[in-house]
Amino acid sequence: MPSERAPQHDPRHEPVMLHDVVDALAVRPGGRYVDATVGLGGHASAILEAAQPGGRLLGIDRDPQALAIATERLAPHGDAVVLARGEFAEVARICEERGFAPVDGILIDAGVSSLQLDTAGRGFSFRRDEPLDMRMDPDGPTTAADIVNTSTEFDLAATIFQYGEERRSRRIAKVIVERRPLRTTGDLARAVEAAVGRRPQDRIHPATLTFQALRIAVNGELEQLEAALDAAHDLLAPGGRLAVISFHSLEDRMVKQFIRDHTRDCICPPKQPICTCDHRATLRDVVRGGRTASDDEVARNPRARSARLRAAERLAVAA
C-alpha cells in the first residue's frame, strides 16, 4: 500500500470539470452512482456529497495505487462507498456481483491520472528516463517495452498511426526497430526524435503522439471504452445519466457516435427511403456538442485543456 496521499492543493490532482460533471449527472439525494474511473476519488467525493442523504457510490479502478488513495480519501463516507479493483469494461459484472444495479448515474473519466503521469517508475512520461512500462494495472500482461521490442515494423507503424494519429508513423517505427531493444522512456523519446527531428516551432514534444499510441495499445483503452459504454447504457435506470470525459479525439469520437446512435429513432443509411431498422432512441443528449473546461480551469490545470465532457440520459423506453 502506498503511503502517499494525493496532495489536495496541487492543481494537477484537481478532478477535471468537477461542477460540470456533478451537473451532467444530475446527482440527487438517495441516488446510486458508479464512478468507473475512481482514480484519486475527487469526482467520487463530490458525487457522494451531492447524493446525501442516502446516496451510494461504487468506485472502480484498475490501478491499486489509485484505489489505496481513494480508499483513504473516501473513508469519511463510510458504508455509502464501495470500491472495487477491476476494468471498467467489466462494469456490468462488477455491479451485479455487488447488487448495485440499476444505477442513477455512471461517470467515466477516461485516460491516465495525474498520479500515474507524475509517479516515478510508471513509465508513462518522457519527462523522466525510466523503464518503458505504461500499464495502468501493474499486473497487466503487456508493457510498452514488450510492444516496441517484439512487434514487427509494420505492426508498430500501424499502432502508432492508428492510436497516435501520427502521420510519420512509418519513419518512427523504422528507427525504433533499428535501435531495439529499447528499455526506457528516454530510449523511445530519443528514437522518435532521431526519426522525425525536433523543430523549434513544435508546440509539443515530437514523441507525444507515439507515447499516446503505445499507452492506448498497452491498456486496451478503446476496447475498454467501447465495452463500457454498452454496459453503462444497460445499467442505467430510466432518467439515469451517463457522463464521459475523454482526453483524445479517438475516445471522444467513439463517445459522440455512441450518443448519436442511441439518441436517434432510426439508424438506417440516410439514402434509404423507408426505415427498416426498428431502432428506437434510448438516450437523450444532455450536453449537446459536449463541453470543455473553462479558460480559468485550463490556466490552473493544463491537463484540462484536452478534456471533453459528453453526457446522456436514459429514456424510459424498452431498449
Residues forming the site for ligand SAM (CB under 6 A): 15, 37, 39-43, 60-63, 66, 87-88, 109, 111, 113, 136, 224
Q: Pick the closer one to ligand SAM by CB: 42 or 206.
A: 42
CA-based nearest residue to 114, from 106, 105, 122: 122
**Residue 137 grid coordinates:** 494495472
- The residue type at 293: A
Q: Cβ 60 to ligand SAM, closest distance in Å?
A: 6
| Closer Cβ to ligand SAM, 40 or 286, answer by number | 40
Q: Which is nearer to ligand SAM, 38 or 287 (CB)?
A: 38
Which lies closer to ligand SAM via its Cβ, residue 56 or residue 303? Answer: 303
Using only the alpha carbons of the chain, give its radius of gyration.
20
Q: How far is the CB of 284 from ligand SAM (least distance, A)?
A: 24
**Residue in 258, 185, 256, 172 with CA at minimum distance from that of residue 218:** 185
- State which residue, 145 or 244, has the beta carbon closest to ligand SAM: 244
Task: Render 39-63 in DSSP notation, one character per residue.
Answer: TTSHHHHHHHHHTTTT-EEEEEES-
Nearest distance from residue 182's CB to ligand SAM, in Å?
A: 24
Report residue 250 as a C-alpha cell. Answer: 479517438
Q: Classify residue 165 as exposed, middle or buried by CB count within 10 Å of its CB (0-12, 13-18, 19+).
A: middle
SS3 292: strand
State the nearest-atom distance from the C-beta of 68 to ligand SAM, in Å: 11
Give yes or no for a contact between 40 and 115, defined as CB atoms under 8 angstroms apart: yes
Q: Residue with the closest Cβ to ligand SAM?
A: 39
CA distances from 272 to 152, 268, 282 (A): 43, 7, 22
Shortest Å, Cβ 54 to ligand SAM? 22
Which CB sits closer to ligand SAM, 16 or 287?
A: 16
